[in-house]
Structures are given as C-alpha cells and as structure tokens.
Structure 1
Amino acid sequence: MKAIKVSELNKYIKKYIAMDYLLNDLLVQGEISSLKKHSNGNIYLTLKDEKASIDAIIYSKDAREIKFDINEGDKVEAKASLSIYEKNARLSLYIRDIRLQGLGELYEKFLYLKDSLDKEGLFSQDHKKQIPFYPRSIGLITSPTGAAVKDFLSILKRRNDSIDVNLYPVNVQGVNAKDDILKALEYFSNNPEDVVVLTRGGGSLEDLFVFNDEELARTIYNFKTPIISAIGHEVDYVISDFVSDLRAPTPSAAAELVSMSKDDLNNSLFLLSSRMNARIDNKLNESKSDLEDIYIRLNNSLLDKIKNYRLDLIKKSRTIYINKPNLNDQRLSLEKNLLELKQALKVKLILKKVELDNLIEKMDSLSPENKQRVSLEDSLNSLMKIKLDKRIKSKRSELNFAKKRLDYSLNSLVNSNKKNLFKSYDSLVKFKTENMPIVENMDKEEIISVKSLDKGKKVKLSFKDGSARLLVEDIELRS
C-alpha cells in the first residue's frame, strides 16, 4: 500500500463526511459553553451534554437571522452539518439555525419581537397615557360571541350601569383577525371614546399570536386614546399587553379597572366633599384673621391721624392765641396813623386860611395905585388860588379815596382775621371742651395760666367723663 499525506487524508475524510446526507442535516441538542462572538460577526461556541462536547461555529450571515440573544448556559436545538477543518482535522458543527430547547418557532418570534420593541422604547412607562378615573364611554374591541364580552359586560353592569359601551365586533384569531382589529382601532381613532378595551378569552399560543403582530403593536403605541389590553388568562402575555397603556390579566379584571362602583364613587364624592369643606373653612378662617389684622392696622392708623390732627390743632390754636395781641396792635396802629393824618391835614388847612386872611388885611391898607397893582396881583393870586383850590380839592379827593381804601382794607383784614380767629377759637374751645380737661380754683374760676395757681392750694380738674381735685405742690414757669 502506498503511503498518503496527512493533508490528503484530511481532505478525504472531509469529502467522505460531506457525502453522508445524515451528517449534513443534523438537529443537535446541547448546552452552550465557551461562547465567543467575533468582531467579524461569527459566533464560536461549544455544545455539550453530560457526557461529551463538540465545537461549533455560526457564520455571520446565519448569526444575523437568530431571533434571540445567545447566552452561556442556554439549552438549544441546532440545525447543523458536520465537517472537519482540513489543517488539523478538527471536527466541528456548522450551525445554520438555532433555537432555545423546548420552545417552538412562534415563541421564538414572540421573544424576538418583544426584545426588539423593548429596545426601541415602545414599552416605556413615559409614553403610557393615564386611564380615566371615571370614563363615561368605553370602546370595546372583541368577538361578539365569545365568553370575554359576556364577562366584561356583566361585571361592568353590576358595578356601574351608567357607562356607555360601544362594541366593535372582530375576529380574535385566524387569518382575518389582524385586519379586523386594525379596522376597529381606526374606527375608534376617528370616533374617540374615553377609553378603549382590547380583549379576548384564553387560548393556545397559536390562538393568541395575532396579538403579537408588530404592525398591531405600533398602531397601539401611536393610538391617541388610552387603551387597555386584556388578552387570555392571567398567565398569558402578548405584545399588546406590553405596548398598551394598561394590561389587565382577564376581561373581568379589565371591566373592574375601567369602572368605579357606585359605592366607591359615593365614598369618593364624600371624601372630596369633606376635603372641600375643610379647605373652605380654612380659607374662611384665614380671611377672617386677615380682616382682623387689617382692622387693627386701620384703627391704629386712624388713631394716629386723629392724634396728629389734635396736636396740629393745638399748635394752630397756640399760634392764633400768641398772634392775637399783634393783630389788635396793628389795628390800633392803623387807627392812630389815620387820626394823625386827619389832624395834620386840618392843621395845614387852618394855616392856609390864616395866611389868606393876612393877605386880605394887607390889601386893605394899600394906596389906590398899590391896590391896582395888588388887584392885578390879586387877580393873579385868584387865578393861582383857583388852581390851588383845585389842586387841594383834587388832593382832598385822592386823600378821601385813599382813606376809604385804607378803611376798607383795614376792615377786611380785621374781619378776616377776626373770622379766622373766631373759627380757630371755636375749634379750640370745642376740642378743649370735648377732649381737654378744665382747671378751676375752688371759687369755680377757670385757670388758664400757671401764674394764677397758688402753691398749697387745691384745684378742680374736670374731664369729659368726670372730675378730680388736685393739690398744687410745685409751680414752674417757662421762659
């Protein structure tokens, strides 16, 4: 026998294995270990069981089709072919498809879609809308003949029969189920209700799989009205449960979540009424306290203003009392000046008359020639006298007019000051009568100056609401 090379032997073994169709279409069960994901996309791993292990590889083009994340320790079923690496004759499985052991293809699709939509953010709580606390109308999407619609309507009627229900009948499984549900969602999008409930009873994974559709999930995610998903039994989960605004474990639970019983409503109304009344009472108490504070501030401000007004009135009264002698002195001075003016004018007129009489006597004692000359002078003097008389008369008129104006101004000034004085005096007397005490000696004579007091004597002090008797112990005079 002729010897062959190792490379020829390995090539023969590889060709021989490739000719075996059983080794080219294997379904192998095992647990993943020694998992390595290469940067080029290839995945290298080892499949093992309790007694043995074998190396395996998943090329990048097949790895991209896997519907779940492969992890160390996963128990899987792998569709593969057996071959060797010619260089070292290392035996390996070349895996074309892989899935988790014990799960069917539908569940793998469910897990893949769930993981994909979750990463995209369609299950985020931030996007979920608040379910109305007390909806008045409900849009119901379900089969009209199933047990789910009967359970839902029965619970809703028992809890609160005042809620309107608008049923849109659909197929909940089968080839037409998806299109029916999408049409129902489109209808309620154009005819919105307060909340929409998508529900059906229990079933197998295949029966519920229409609710794992990606297009349906995205439609629910973009739906404007709050939507509740109540599919199957409590242990059943579908994609619509995760993407909806609220998941109810059963149709009956959905009816309870979407409605409030009349007893609960009455209790809530009672609590709200109690809280509202308490807030009203608190607000009234706060307002009452604020009004009392405002009243106290206004009252204090008014008292301060009255006090300031009294002090100002006292000051003005004192000013008038001090200036009263000056006004009298001014009047007396004006009257004195007027009298002196009249006397001076009278004396001047008498002197002029005496001067005229002397001139006449002098004329009588002159000769005829002098008389003629004097006559001429007299005529001239007469003319001068006429002019002088006119001037005197004019000055007298001006003097009389000035006197009248002076009298009028003086009288006006005196009357005005007198009125102001009387008005201030009346105010002072009134203020004094109402607010200031009256001091009298034992002879009932009013005392207005400290000079009228005698040390060791008693005085009577009268107030608005009573009187008191005081003994003068000491007297101090102000400069």
Structure 2
Amino acid sequence: MVVPTEDMIEGAPLTVSELTRLVRESLETEFSRVIVEGEIANLKVPSSGHVYFTLKDESAQITAVLFRAAVRFLKFRPADGLKVVCRGRLTVYEPRGTYQVIVESMDPCGRGALQLAFEQVKGRLTAEGLFDEERKRPLPFLPIRVGVITSPTGAAIRDVLRVLRDRFADLQVLIHPVPVQGPAAARAVSRAIDEMNRHSLDVLLIVRGGGSLEDLWAFNEEEVVRAIVRSRVPVVTGIGHETDFTLADFASDLRAPTPTAAASMIVRSKIELHEKIDLLARRLARGARSVFQEQRSRLRIASRDLGDLAVLLERFAQRVDDLAGRLRAAWRERGNGQRRELEGAVRRLMRRHPEAGLARQRGRFETARRILAPSMRTGLGVRQQTLRRLSERLTALSPLGVLSRGYSLTFTLPEMAIVRSAAALSAGDRIRVRLGEGSVDATVDRCMDRKEKELKIGNLNWKRGDDKPDNIQERQIENWKL
C-alpha cells in the first residue's frame, strides 16, 4: 500500500494524474483479490463484447467491467436485477478518476438468480438438441454390472445398495465416490462419468439426496450435462426429491424421483421375473393346446370328408348292384316272356301242327334272342365303365394317389412350410421332400428358376424357349440339364 509521506503533504503539489496513479497502485496492492456480492444494474454490452454494469446494494454501488475474454466462460447471461457474486480485483479508471471492479468470474446467487440462470442454460442446451427424446437410449432388460456415482457417506448410497440387494442380489456394483455439492462437485461428477465409461457397465446411476437449489447446482452445470450426453452407457439420475429437477435429469436416459426409485427402476425383482416366466409358460401351454386342438379339428374335418367319399363310393357300388340286379331281373323276365311265348307257340303248334307256322315262330324267337343279348351286354358295359371312371377320379383326388404317381411335396425345415417356387429357397437351406412312400431330408445346393433350365443335346447347350437345331434328332438328346 502506498502511504502518503509528509513531503507529499507539505511539499510540491501532486498532479491529478500522479494522485490518481498513487490511488490506483494503492488499491491494486491492497485489493488485488476481491469477492463482492450485489445486484446488477445499468447493464451495457457494446459491440466490443465487453460487459459494463453497476453492482449495488441498499446503500452503495460500484462500477464493474467484465472483459470479453471472461464473458465466454459465463454459465448464464447477465441481466439487470440479477443478484450475483463477482470475483476479481479493484482498480482505478484513471481517465475518469473512478474506481471499479475488474470482474474475472461471476456466478448467480439467491434462488431467483439461480432459477434465471437455470432457465437460460436449459434453453441454450435444448436448442442444441441435448434433451431430445430421440437421443435417449433404452435401458437393458436385466443389467448385470451397475455403476453408481454419488457421495460415499450419504444416505443415497445406502438406499441404492439396499434396493439392489433386495431385488436382485447377483448384481455387480461399481461405486465411484464424488462430492455432490460445492465448487468442485461439477468437475468431479463429469470426470467420474467419463471414467465409468471405461468399464464394461450395463447402466450408470447418478444419485444424491435432497437439498436446496444451491445444494443441487452442480447437477445443473453444463459440463455434467455434456458428460451424460456423450456417455456410451445408459444413464439414470435420481437427484433430490420428486419435486427437484436438474439439467442432468433432462439429459439422462431416465429420470427417477429419488435415489431409491432409481435403483428400483433399473433392476427387476427376481420374484417378479419368476412370476412373469411362469405366466409366459402358462400362456405358451395354452397356445400350444389351442393350436393342437385346432389342428385336431381340421384333421377330424378332413377325415369326415374322406368318410363322405367312402359313403359316396358305397352308394355308387349299391347303385351298380341295384342296376345289375334289375338287369338280371329284366333278363329273367324277358326270358320268361319268351319262354311263355314259345310254350304258347308250341301249344298252338301242337294244336295246329303246321310246319310253316313252326318255322315262323322259330324265326321270331331267334330274332328276339339276337336283339336282347347285345342290348343287355351293352347296358352292363356302360355301367361298369361309369363305375370305373368314378373310382379312378376318387383315386386321383387323393393326395396319396398324386404322390404315388411320382410327384412329391417339398417343405422348408424346421418351419414345414410348403415350397411353391425355387425363388423361396437359397443355397444351404434345409428341406424335407415327401414321397409316395416315406420322406427325405436334404440340403439345397443350388436354386434354378424356369429360365435357367437348359437342355444338353449332343455337344450343344441350349435354353428352353430357344429353337432346337433341325439336324439333331430327338434320340440324340443325352440328358436334361436341370
């Protein structure tokens, strides 16, 4: 500190510049580091980027300046009426002879100022897309390795460990202790997030107990938010109480109202999992029974349809037997009639005994016999052919009949879906071929569609759709290249 001497007081007078310089040197020596709290007033931000304002309280005020180099490190946007804590040094602005504070850093203080700073940072980070729902990652169904970032001495870590142990005791828990409030908390938490990402974790918890807005402010710092966003491990936050919201909550993949709730939300109860498995097993059994009953019903309907065909066949057989019986009866009746006519003729002949009459009757009898016999044979043949056609049609409609004629059915394995086109298969697929007798399991080596089929005739190769050479006989075809 520069102390005025007696020579300065009684000697030659000082110039204004000299006095101002002495005052500046004295202030800068005595107040090289000051922390001052006050309310911002008369805020001005010229094109230079420097911030000029007045710090005031109920009874005094002082001018202050925040140079552009320090402005970029601010975590909020200064505004009139905002209560702040400024750190810097005291000096004198010699051209005006006024003393002022050169501010090096500034933080909001008081709930109103902190809330304003919270909204300002939130708006800026929201505009960057850091809080978008599309960015957030799903949590694993059942994590095995869980990381926890919190204070090692608070109630939060005890609650989290108790819940994890009660719900699923087989978990591996990795704890990274950090301070959860104070000026060093934000840097410690962001570094802990980066450090935990170097371990093979399934999910990461960031928790702490309740507190005031000032106590929770470390979790509103931008460096913590950005560390959560760049984390490769899904992050779940449980900070404060249900009514407390921090910017870390908006950036995390899942926000829990309390540390206890955070632990409950990431780990499913082993008892609940067993109950769900039992429920799924019962549903699977019911579904299997339903499918079995449906297939059995379809089989019963198919069997009934086959039974109807058998009944129809029996009906046709009965019809044929009836027609054959009627034919035999007609034959007998016609024969009996002819016999009666013959007997009448014989009686008449015996009565008349004319040779010519006997000859005429014999002629009529022979004519009737020649007409009747072919007619009966023709009618019986027609009915037998009808019966044969019906029997052949019935046999052709049977799936087993189709297979017995050399055809086959191909199914994919293990789905047992019918293959209708080579395009539905790929090399290496497993198939089952149903034959007339038995089935064959095979593996596809190559798939060819209709356009790829070729015929090899002699030493010439040609595709279907091309004209065959005229000078090659059909008997020269050595094999089909299918």
Normalising by structure 2, report the TM-score: 0.41
Bigger proportion of residues as helix = 1
Greater C-alpha Rg: 1
Normalising by structure 1, report the TM-score: 0.42
